[in-house]
Structure 1
Amino acid sequence: MAQYDNYCDIGNIQEKIKQYFIENSFLMKEQIFDIDLPESKMRKLKHLNEYTIGSDDYIRLSTKISRLKQFKKEEMYLGKVDKSEKTAICLHFTAGNFGGADSTTCNTKPNRAIEKHNAVNYWVYRDGTIVEYMEPEYWAHHSHGGDTYNPKIIAIEIVNYGWLELKNDGYLHSCSGIYCSKDEQCKGKDLAYIDLANNDYDKLGRYPHSEYRGYRYYAAFTTLQTQSVAKLLKTLCKEYDIPYRFLPYDIRFDHFEWNEPMRQLVTDWSSFMNDNKEKAGIFSHVNTRYRNEDTNAVVKWDISPAFDWEYLENYNGFTTSFPLENNTNKLYQMTPIQWLNAAERGDQKGYFPIGSNLTAHTIVHIASPSTQSTPVRAMPNGSVTDLEIVQGKTKVTTGITNKIIIKMSSYNESE
C-alpha cells in the first residue's frame, strides 16, 4: 500500500494551502501580474508599514512578528536596483514542504535572516499559488553569485522536497524523514516521486544518466506548479526584458565557476547561444553552486533533470498549442475544430482531413492573422521531412506559397 508524507499527497494540498493562508492572512489576495491565474492564487507580502495602523492585518502581522521574534520584510533584502539591471532569473526548490515557504519571511533564525539576508522574490506553492515576497527590483542572497551577481537576478522558489534516498525500510526518505513508499503507483508527474532511470518528465530522452549529483529519486512537482512557474517566467521576462530561454540541455545542469563563467551565466549567453542579446535568460541554482568549498560535499540539487523542462521550453502563454499566436482573436479560447474553421480560407475551406465538398483534404491552410510576420509552431514534437520556401510567387500546382512537412509520432520508434 502506498504511503505518502501528508505534505506531498496531492489530495490534501488544496485544503492545507487554504488553511495556511487563513492563518497568515497578511498574505493579501492581491493581483501581482495580469496573468491567467485566479486572484486568490496571486498573493503579495506587504511591509508592515504598508498596512493601516490598527487594521486587522496590521495587528495580525505585528503580533506574529512579536510573538515569534520574526523579522520585518524590509530586513529581507540587501538592496534595490533599477529594473533595467535585471538580466536573468534563477529557479530554486525549497527542499521541504509548503510550510517552508514561510521560513524566508517569518521563521528563519534572525541571525541568518538579518546577517546573511537569504531570501527570494517569489514562491510557487504546490497548488499553483504564487506569492510575491519581494518586488523583483529588490535583491537578497539566494545563489552563489554574491553581491556581484545576485542584484541582477530575480529569484523564484518552488515548493518541493528535492532529492529522495531509498533506505533499507523500503521507503524513500527526504531530508525531513519518510516521504513515500517506492510503490510504482507513487511514481510519476502529479504523484510522489520521479525516477531518473525512467524519467516521466524527460519525454525526449535527453538526460543520459540514471542519477544526478548522487541521487536517483526526486520528489515530483505538480502540474499546477509547473503551469504557474511558466506563466510567472513569461510575465517576468516580458516586464524586465529578459529573454525567455533556457541553457542548452547539454550544459543545463552544469556548475559555472567563479568568476568569468559566473558572469556569463548571469549576464551574457552569447558564447553558447550564438546570438548578441544583451541579457541572459533562465537558469537554476545548480548552475551557481555544486560543492561546499570546505568539505567538498555536494550541497545543491535544484533544479535537477527531474522537472518538466519541456513544458517550460514549449510554453507559449496559451492553454492550447495552436500553430499561430493571436491574442486579439483569442485563439487560446477556441476548440481545435473552431480554430481549423477559422484557419481554412476561401474555396479550400473545410475540415482536415475531409473538405467541405467531401473530397480528401490533407492540408490545413494557415493564414497569418495580421500583416506582420507571425511564427508558426508545430503542436507536438517531430522531425522535418520536407521543406519548400517560395519567395515572391505562388506555386500554380498547389496554391501553396510555403510548405513544411513534419513527421510526428506518438510512440518511440526505437522500442
Structure 2
Amino acid sequence: MKATSILKHEKNFFDTGKDSAGKEFLLTPNTVPIQGTLDTMSYVQCRPKNEDTSFYVQEKHTKKQIVLHYTAGYLKGDVAALSKPNYRVSVPFIIARNGAILNMWSSAYWAYHLGSKAVGGNTKGGKRSIGIEMSNIGFLKRIGDQLVTVYNDNDVYCDISETQFYIKLDTPYRGEQYFATHTGKQYNSLISLLKYLTAEYNIPTVFLPEDKRYGVVAEKELVSFRGITSHVNYRSSGKWDIGPAFDWERIINGL
C-alpha cells in the first residue's frame, strides 16, 4: 500500500467498523483522566460486535512493564490479526497513524505478545506487561528509486524522494536500513497513553539505557526491570520493533 493511501484506509475502518477480514467492531469514543495531572486521554473503545473475548485472557495480573511494538501492517489488518478468536495473541492498545488509540480490551488482563522464544517466557512476560502496538509497516526494501514492503516487491510504499515516509539509518539495524516513519500524531498519542498507563499501574517512566535499548537483554535484568521496553529486548532475532529508527528522545522528553 502506498504511504499516501494509509489515512484513507484508516478512515474506512473508522467509518465502517470492519477489519480486513470483514469482522465488525463497535467503536466508542471515550476520555479518561490521567492520574496526578490535569490532563486527559482520548481513546476509542474497540469491541467485536459478536462480543467475542476469546482473543485475550480475562485474568488480572500486576503490571510492571510496558512493551512497545509495531504491527508490520496497516490498521484493518492489525485489528484482524490481534483479535483472532481463541488465538490469544493480542495487545490492549493499537495506535493508528491518525493518532487514534484503539483499546481492544482492559489493560488489566493479558495476552501473548512476546513470542515463544521470548526472554523470560512468553506467558510470564505477557502477564506482567502491557503491550502497545504502533500501526506501522516496519522495515522496507529499496528497489531502484522506490521503497517496497517486505511482503511483495511490487507493493510500493513510497518513492525514495518522499523522505517524510521513511528513515534511512546510517548503520543497518539487524540487517535493515530503511524503516517506515511513525506520524507525529502517533508519537503524541503514545506519550499520552504512556502517561496514563504509568500512572494507572504505578510503572516508572524509566527506559533502558541506549546501549541496551536496541538489543536483547539478559533474562535476570529484563524480568526485574520496571519501566518501558520494546519487543527487541525480548527477542534476539526475527523482530525489529522498536529499534533506532524510532524517535525515542521525543517520547522520553514528552514524559
What is the rounded CA distance, in whole Å, between the counterparts of 1:86 and 1:193 in structure 2? 33
Q: Which ranges in structure 1 are unaligned for 5 or more consecutive residues?
A: 49-60, 63-71, 198-209, 269-279, 292-298, 317-415
Shift of 1:14: 4.5
SS class of match (2:208): coil
Tell me the alpha carbon deviations over residues 111-157 of structure 1, each in whole angstroms, 9 at most, x when there is no partner: xx52x411011000001000111211111110123112210000000
Aligned match of 1:249 in 195, 210, 220?
Answer: 210
Q: Supply the RMSD in Å over aligned alpha carbons.
A: 2.0
Cα distance in 2 between the residues matched to 1:44 and 1:308: 27
Answering whether residue 210 of structure 2 is matched by residue 264 of structure 1, we say no
* Counterpart residue number, 1:88: 65
21, 31, 39: which is aligned to 2:14?
21
For 1:123 and 1:263, the matched residues in 2 are separated by 29
Asked if residue 166 in structure 1 is aligned to residue 139 in structure 2, the reply is no
Counterpart secondary structure, 1:226: helix
The Cα shift of 1:32 comes to 4.8
SS at 1:234 equivalent: helix
Deviations along 1:364-390, one digit per CA (max 9) or x if unpaired, are xxxxxxxxxxxxxxxxxxxxxxxxxxx
Check conservation: 2:68, 2:241, Cα contact below 8 A: yes
TM-score, normalising length from structure 1?
Answer: 0.54
**Of 182, 197, 200, the match for 2:160:** 182
Where in structure 2 are the equivalents of 1:328-407 lying within 5 Å?
A: none
In structure 2, the CA distance between the partners of 1:33 and 1:136, relative to structure 1 (3 Å rule), is farther
CA apart distance, 1:36: 4.4
Q: Give 1:15 deviation, angstroms.
A: 4.3
Which residue of structure 2 aligns with residue 196 of structure 1? 169
* Helix, strand or coil at the partner of 2:172: coil
Structure 2 gap ranges (5+): 18-24
**Correspondence 1:99 to 2:76:** yes
Match of 2:236 among 259, 273, 290: 290
Supply the distance in 1 between the matched residues of 2:97 and 2:207 (Cα, whole angstroms).
23
Structure 1 or 2, whichever has the larger Rg, is 1
1:179 Cα deviation from its structure 2 partner: 1.3
1:43 is paired with a residue whose SS is strand
Counterpart-to-counterpart distance in 1, 2:72 and 2:137: 4
Residue 81 of structure 1, CA deviation: 1.9
Q: Report which structure shows greater RCO (CA 8 Å, sep ≥6).
A: 2
Pair 264,97 (structure 1): closer, same or farther in 2 beyond 3 Å: same
1:329 maps to what in 2? none
- Of the candidates 55, 76, 79, which is equivalent to residue 76 of structure 1? 55
Aligned CA distance change for structure 1 residues 80 and 32 (closer, same or farther; 3 Å) = farther
The share of aligned pairs that are identical, in percent, is 32
- Whole-angstrom CA distance in 1 between matches of 2:147 and 2:6: 20
Query: Match for residue 173 of structure 2?
Result: 212
Q: State whether residues 32 and 40 of structure 2, in contact with CA within 8 Å, keep that contact through their aligned partners in structure 1.
A: no
Distance 2:52 2:213 in 1: 33
TM-score of the two chains, using structure 2 as the length reference: 0.85
More strand by share: 2
SS in 2 for 1:313: helix
Kindly provide the CA deviation profile for residues 188-211 of structure 1, in whole angstroms up to 9, marking residues without a partner as x.
xxx2110112xxxxxxxxxxxx11
Distance 1:171 1:14 in 2: 20
Question: For residues 179 and 18 of structure 1, do their structure 2 counterparts lie closer, same or farther at Cα, with a shift above 3 Å needed?
Answer: closer
Q: Which position in structure 2 is the counterpart of 1:201?
A: none
| Residue 92 of structure 2 is aligned to residue 146 of structure 1 | no
Q: Does the Cα contact within 8 Å between 2:82 and 2:91 map onto a contact in 1?
A: no
AA matched with 1:117: R
Query: Match of 1:302?
Result: 241
- Equivalent pair of 1:172/1:181 in contact (CA under 8 Å): yes
> Would the alpha carbon gap of residues 18 and 218 (structure 1) be closer, same or farther in structure 2, given more than 3 Å must change?
same
**CA distance in structure 1 between the partners assigned to 2:149 and 2:240 by the alignment:** 13
For residue 172 of structure 1, report the CA deviation from its aligned partner.
1.2
Q: Is the 8 A contact 1:94 1:100 kept in 2?
A: no
Task: Select the residue among 63, 78, 92 that pairs with 1:121.
Answer: 92
* Superimposed CA distance per residue, residues 225-273 of structure 1 (whole angstroms, 9 cap, x where no aligned partner): 01100110111001100001110001101112xxxx33421433xxxxx
